Amino acid sequence: MDQIKNKTRHPQVLKNGAKKWPPFAWDLNHWCSLLKESLGDRIQVRIGSQNTPDDEIQWERKTRTEEIGINKFFSKDFTNDLEEKQEWAYFDYKYMAELFPKELLDKFDWSFTGLAGRNGHDTTLWIGTKGAHTPCHQDSYGYNLVVQLIGSKTWILVSPEEYDNMAPTRVPYEESSVYSMINFQDFFKNSRENIFKLENTQAYQIILEPGDILFVPRHWWHTVQNTSENLAVSVNTWVPCQQDMEVQLQEALVRIQAAQTARLCNREELDILLNPNEEDVVNCDIRKLIELSEHLAKQLAENSENQTPTFFPNLKDFLPLASIPFSILFSNKENKVKRRKTEDNNESEPDSSSVISMYKVLTSKSVIEAACKQLTKKFKNKENK
């Protein structure tokens, strides 16, 4: 039992574990047809650059959205054209329940992993060209199970125990995501301070090939990049964890701060503060967010001892990822890193307005956890009277 429990605390991989899963048999032509049947001839994709001109991470706000033909997106000519322009395209973070009919969603039956009752309704789709990536972040809720269907992706993971070394930030704000200020795509562009923090930090790296299944434990930092020459297709499911009720309250408290800060920002500051999908925060009802926070705190106070236990997949045949020091992981960039260290002696995080700087303080982990504890205590005291 202890061995199984220990497996749930570290990243695990099952090579070729999904090769008998029905969706694994689908090629790119089939995926192209499925999307056209459900969405018509055109989709919106994010376009990003392989090489950013500045030192900042390529946040979603720094990419652009284009509507293109589905046939074009799946064509080799489009991939080659992006390669010449040093760009990438991503049809990412798509909830399959919003794309496909029930009969298709039922084919994504996760019971082969031991997760009975989960299917396409609980699945997210990612299709991207070479270089498409997500900045390093930590998912607030649940754990993650990923299946690589076509092409390959490189995953880099870091333990949540390294939280402070990962330069955590809630800027840009996105509900349920804590970003890292570490630039993994252009590592030599990191600040001298961040590089020093990582010198004794361990990372986990794996290239997922078609048919591989990856288990990402709760709160593990990760950054992902498509590395195949053609399109890469993967799906994942986030599975709730016992601790999610407390995290819901923490996220509600962060959202209150994001909403209050957004009211004070000009357009330039809003572009820094918010991820594009969180623009509605500007006009949301803060009073309702406060009421939601109190409701969640009351629930937590009443049910802290009776939360639903986490249900894990069958990890018996999975193998743990081996850790490697950052110094080895980025050894091919060592000279650039050394030059950066010696040249930039006065480097710090990019300047922020006083409004955003205050938001960063108020949404730091220690402040939010303390507020969560205090609010929950308030309702526990009422319950005991």
332 against 108, higher pLDDT: 108
Residue 77 domain-assigned (yes or no)? yes
pLDDT at 339: 45
Same-domain status, 8 and 94: yes
Last residue of a domain, one of 222, 239, 256: 239
Candidate from 3-7, 212-216, 217-221, 283-287 with smallest mean pLDDT: 3-7
Q: Which uninterrupted H or E stretch holds 249?
A: helix 244-264
CATH, residue 96: 2.60.120.10
Nearest residue to 240 via CA among 311, 154, 191: 311
Same-domain status, 65 and 110: yes
Model confidence at 348, in pLDDT bands (50, 70, 90)? very low
Can you give the residue range of the structural domain that contains 276? 244-309+351-384
Count structural domains, the chain: 2
Model confidence at 385, in pLDDT bands (50, 70, 90)? low
Same-domain status, 224 and 252: no
**Distance from CA of residue 229 to its chain's centroid?**
23
Same-domain status, 304 and 221: no
Residue 181 domain-assigned (yes or no)? no
Residue 358 domain-assigned (yes or no)? yes
pLDDT at 340: 47
Same-domain status, 233 and 281: no
Model confidence at 1, in pLDDT bands (50, 70, 90)? low
Residue 225 domain-assigned (yes or no)? yes
Same-domain status, 12 and 140: yes
Same-domain status, 252 and 376: yes
Residue 26 domain-assigned (yes or no)? yes
Same-domain status, 235 and 271: no
Strands 133-139 and 319-320: unpaired
Nearest residue to 295 via CA among 241, 222, 245, 367: 245
Same-domain status, 131 and 88: yes
Same-domain status, 214 and 303: no
For residue 153, give both structure tokens. 């992706």
Residue 173 domain-assigned (yes or no)? no
Residue 111 domain-assigned (yes or no)? yes
pLDDT at 329: 77
- pLDDT at position 343 over 60: no
Last residue of a domain, one of 239, 262, 279: 239
213 against 194, higher pLDDT: 213
Each residue of 162-211: pLDDT tens digit? Answer: 999 999 999 999 999 999 999 998 887 888 888 888 888 999 999 999 99
Each residue of 304-339: pLDDT tens digit? Answer: 777 889 999 999 999 999 999 987 877 655 444 444
Average pLDDT over residues 87-116: 97
Each residue of 233-257: pLDDT tens digit? Answer: 999 999 999 999 999 999 999 999 9
Same-domain status, 73 and 12: yes
Candidate from 131-145, 193-207, 255-269, 275-289 with smallest mean pLDDT: 193-207
pLDDT at 23: 98
pLDDT at 307: 80
Average pLDDT over residues 83-110: 97
How confident is the prediction for the chain on average, in pLDDT? 91
Whole-number Å distance between alpha carbons of 91 and 372? 36
Average pLDDT over residues 127-144: 97
Residue 120 domain-assigned (yes or no)? yes
- pLDDT at position 53 over 90: no
Strands 213-216 and 143-150: antiparallel
Same-domain status, 147 and 270: no
pLDDT at 191: 86
